[in-house]
Chains A and B, each alone.
Chain A
């Protein structure tokens, strides 16, 4: 967690020792500092990918870091679409990355379901 921290600074104060906070990201237990956001605590732990694009599955991380762009949305304690860049970490918080979603009705898929049963079978297959 300290590896990526900027502790000494020529102008700003030295980074003060802060209380550590333990939280979970995709099942892994990590620590950050009090006053960290989810995004800053994850980056300090070397984690940049916060979600997969819902459709393409492409990896996504922070972009604006101040709540405007919604690129960093994650699930926090079961609540989806929470912005990691403006949400402070809390003790025992459970954070999950955004996942690629099934898209059985995409016409580019080789098999487009013809019936509801086929759709359900394909959906089950993707999960």
Chain B
């Protein structure tokens, strides 16, 4: 069997940019993705940058794919990886098609959306906000006529805008009802605190609103206590922090939601039930690293809240404690596609260095690592205010493994 220098799992911004870096060093690479199209979750992204230009993920993906193709990169779609096996100092990547052998593996599987279960959430017409994004911007199919978004966070705000751009109507963005799972996402004060700390970054009016209360906790408390009952409009859609969706109703599909007023601590105010007719519901629970494949190949994990959950231990060179296994992109922590792309380059170069031991590559790695930092500092979309601290945390954990 042919042994690839590297198999890259995931054809998103991280995986593709890693492949480009590896091909530039003339190494033999195979990129695998289970989606029918290359580009990962770049496909569908669409937001306005502070300079007024649009970040169109489909075009960004095209650029990466074209560059990879020009370098004769082998790329497969519709192939799902379900296991990575260590064998004689190398790896066997198990897929639904066949097994591929590799000297190095880069796991760039991205993120998945956190489920926020609410009674009625299994009805057809209820989907994650990311599902609506892909239907709208990639497949160009309407998910419904008028819907509601459950969850108020960065991802919800960004994709709500995309739905509106496509001519889909939204009743509002509101919080999920408090339960054991929705936890802090259902808590007005915590949601406000999170929004206010990332507010300076993003162009959205919602986040600018939050930013006014950035510095002082008492100001956030007041903002939540006196939050307007009719919400605060963003692109003519109300954002509610004092209303929550208690239940999704329907028999064969979504027909309505039941909304209630909540106190500043997220408790239901009795007698405030209101039935809102909608034909679709988007649940926006945020993102977490999709990391199972790192687990099956034996990479240790650490829970780092600012990074979005359990992440495989790795260093700034995107190496894991398992020699030959690398990670890049959202599997290492939830950040923007631009950061993922920059991390991909680092990972690709790190693999190239392992294969060639060329000092010139070492220099390239250092430069690419700086690019990651610069990209992070200039990010217009940030998912967690403490991202830099989270990064330091996980890198320190890698050194512990190395020295311990």
Contact = CB atoms under 8 A, between A and B. Distances in A.
> Do A and B belong to a common assembly?
yes
A62 B134 CA distance: 12
Interface string B154-188: 00000000000111000000000000000000000
A100 B142 CA distance: 28
B73 interface: no
B141 A59 contact: no
B253 interface: yes
Contacts of A44: 139, 141
Interface stretch (B35-43, B230-238, B298-306): B35-43
A86 B36 CA distance: 6
B51 to A, nearest CB: 15
B127 A65 contact: yes
Interface stretch (B117-125, B203-211, B343-351, B395-403): B117-125
B135 A66 contact: no
Contacts of B137: 12
Interface stretch (A32-40, A101-109, A115-123): A32-40
Given A5-B140, A40-B141, A68-B112, A63 B126 contact: yes
B46 interface: yes
Contact of A49 (B126, B165, B253): B253
Given A49-B124, A65-B127, A6 B253 contact: no
A4 interface: yes
B136 to A, nearest CB: 6
B78 interface: yes
16 contacts: A4-B142, A5-B142, A6-B141, A6-B142, A9-B140, A9-B166, A10-B165, A12-B137, A35-B37, A40-B135, A62-B131, A62-B135, A63-B127, A65-B130, A67-B34, A69-B115
B143 A43 contact: yes
Contacts of B58: 12
Interface residues of A, number: 36
A113 interface: no
B252 A11 contact: no
Contacts of B46: 11-12
A64 B124 contact: no
B113 interface: yes
Contacts of B131: 62-66, 85
Interface in A82-117: 85-88
B128 interface: yes
Interface of A: 4-7, 9-12, 15, 35-37, 40, 43-44, 48-50, 53, 58-69, 71, 85-88
B122 A37 contact: no
A60 B121 CA distance: 10
Question: Interface majority SS on A: helix, strand, loop or mixed?
Answer: loop
B221 interface: no
A63 B140 contact: no
A65 B35 contact: no
Contact of A43 (B34, B35, B123, B135): B135
A65 B43 CA distance: 13
B124 A59 contact: yes
B244 to A, nearest CB: 21
B130 A66 contact: yes
B56 interface: yes
Nearest to A40: B139
A6 B56 contact: no
Contact of A9 (B126, B132, B165): B165
B64 interface: no
Contact of B128 (A10, A35, A65, A86): A65
A6 B165 CA distance: 10
Contacts of A5: 140-142
Given A9-B166, A66-B134, A86 B54 contact: no
Interface string B27-66: 0000000111100010000100000001010100000000
Nearest to B132: A65
Contact of B140 (A6, A49, A61, A87): A6
Contacts of A53: 122
Contact of B36 (A6, A37, A58): A37
B126 A68 contact: no
Contact of B41 (A35, A43, A48, A66): A66
Contacts of B141: 4-6, 40, 43-44
Given A5-B140, A64-B113, 18 more contacts: A4-B141, A6-B142, A11-B46, A11-B56, A37-B139, A48-B125, A49-B252, A59-B123, A59-B124, A60-B122, A61-B253, A63-B127, A65-B131, A66-B35, A66-B134, A67-B34, A68-B290, A86-B34
